[in-house]
Amino acid sequence: MPRAAAPALVFVNGTVILPDRLVPGAVVECAGGRIRRVGRGRIPKGAVVVDARGGYVAPGFVDLHVHGGDGADFMDGTAEAVRTACRAHARHGTTTIFPTTTTGAEAQIAAMIAACGGVRREGGVAAGARIAGVHLYGPYFAPDKVGCHPASGRRDPEAAEYQRHFATGLVRIATCAAELPGAEAFYRAARRRGCLVTCGHSNATWAEMARAYRAGMRHVDHFWCAMSSVASLRQRYGTPMQASMEQFVLAEPGMSTEVIADGCHLSPELLTFAWRQLGARRLCLVTDANRALDQPPGRYRFGSAEDGEWIESDGRVGFVPGAGGALASSVVGLDTMVRTMRAATGAPLAEVVRMASLTPAERAGVARETGSLAVGKRADVLVLDRRIRVRRVFIGGAEFTG
């Protein structure tokens, strides 16, 4: 006999968050792991009803830039580390994730990509946030902008190496500092693979950014963090002072960027400036979280557990020991970023949630599948309370309870 269809899943008694507005009292109906209806209407007979209890029904978050969580770093290169980190971020509302490399040996990066590929093939809601691809972030950083990443693993782009990583078919976001020898060839190769091509950990000038843009670069990692400024370029070039990555991103409409809105990396004024200048369609929220997410304050390895650099967490943010308070990525989830961005900027909630969902999905090329509550997309749905805290998480229509 044919198998009976699973009952519909219907979210009720909440304000639905769409990319451009809030819709009080709307329902979101899902079937077969997809969204079937958003709006008014009767609840199908036999449906499984999820009561939002007067809170919000939101799309699952999409994180473009994330290193780990709950004691695990993706660079540990094991399936269990990948699952641990993906589960940790799912608890904070991330349903689509792009595990992000650090600097390191080619073998370490290859092991990380392979482990992510294995967990992605396994699938299943129990694994946590769904892996949409890998962000090849390290190792192609500028020598003077390595930050908390292991400097020994930094190098200029090598075609034979990055082509091996691209050949896996798993790399969907690709970062390189624009001023490095071979950067433009890297950008062109990444663009041919359909990647979101980004510049990060860079001391690039406007002219170098313009060349990168012509080669396919369209995004800058964590605005104002480990990036060039007018002051840093004066040290490199003297006078006249040079325009930096900041000015290029703000002036070029085709560019997007991201902010770490954890309340520690950037002040409310900088978050407000970024939102006002770029808007919700060009600005993404990311965690850049390390393994100290959901862990007590203490010392942790950033990157591989074997040889990553030591960082410290005070429970609010990561920082580099003995480096004058230099920050070392965040230790909180995207739910915190959404709450902080909302409080800091006063931006409409629909726009803030867009920055954590549809905008990153659009930039990474996965918006046909996820990023908003729209008919036909995967049923990646969050139930939030009125304080924007995550209460329930559904990935592909199945509830995550990990």
Whole-number pLDDT of residue 234: 95
CA gap 159, 400 in Å, rounded: 40
Residues of the chain with CATH 3.20.20.140: 61-370
pLDDT at residue 2 is higher than 60: no
Residue 203 CB contacts under 8 Å (≥ 6 apart), including other chains: 142, 144, 145, 177, 179, 227, 228, 232, 233, 236
Q: For residue 365, which amino acid is it? A: G
pLDDT band at 81 (very low <50, low <70, confident <90, very high): very high
Sheet holding 130-131, edge to edge: 61-66, 94-99, 130-131
CA 184 vs CA 136, 168, 191, 205, 217: distances in Å: 16, 21, 10, 14, 9
- Mean pLDDT (whole number) for 2-17: 87
CA 61 vs CA 90, 118, 251, 309: distances in Å: 9, 22, 28, 29
pLDDT band at 184 (very low <50, low <70, confident <90, very high): very high
pLDDT at residue 1 is higher than 90: no
Q: Please choose, from the candidates 121, 153, 137, the residue with its C-alpha nearest in 3D space to the C-alpha of residue 74.
A: 137
Residue 59 contacts residue 353 (beta carbons within 8 Å):
yes
pLDDT band at 6 (very low <50, low <70, confident <90, very high): confident
Residues of the chain with CATH 2.30.40.10: 1-59+371-402
- Mean pLDDT (whole number) for 157-178: 98
pLDDT band at 3 (very low <50, low <70, confident <90, very high): low
> 268-278 and 334-345 are packed helices; what angle lies between their axes, rounded to 10 degrees?
90
pLDDT at residue 213 is higher than 70: yes
pLDDT at residue 89 is higher than 60: yes
CATH classification (class only), 1-59+371-402: mainly beta
Whole-number pLDDT of residue 4: 60
- Mean pLDDT (whole number) for 162-189: 98
pLDDT band at 168 (very low <50, low <70, confident <90, very high): very high
Q: In CATH, which of 3.20.20.70, 3.30.540.10, 3.10.20.30, 3.20.20.140 is domain 61-370? A: 3.20.20.140
pLDDT in tens, 225-261: 999 999 999 998 999 999 999 999 999 999 999 999 9
- Mean pLDDT (whole number) for 9-28: 98
pLDDT in tens, 326-374: 999 999 999 999 999 999 999 999 999 999 999 999 999 999 999 999 9
Radius of gyration of the chain (CA): 21
Q: What is the 3-state secondary structure (H, E, C) of the chain?
A: CCCCCCCCEEEECCEEECCCCEEECCEEEEECCEEEEEECCCCCCCCEEEECCCCEEEECEEEEEECEECCEEHHHCCHHHHHHHHHHHHHCCEEEEEEECCCCCHHHHHHHHHHHHHHHHHCCHHHCCEECCEEECCCCCCHHHCCCCCHHHCCCCCHHHHHHHHHCCCEEEEECCCCCCCHHHHHHHHHHCCCEEEECCECCEHHHHHHHHHHCCCEECCCCCCECCHHHHHHHHCCCCCCEHHHHHHHCCCCEEEECCCCCCCCHHHHHHHHHHHCCCCEEECCCECCCCCCCCEEEEECCCCCCEEEEECCCEEECCCCCCCEEEECCCHHHHHHHHHHHHCCCHHHHHHHCCHHHHHHHCCCCCCCCCCCCCECCEEEECCCCCEEEEEECCEEECC
pLDDT in tens, 255-295: 999 999 999 999 999 999 999 999 999 999 999 999 999 99
pLDDT in tens, 107-132: 999 999 999 999 999 999 999 999 99
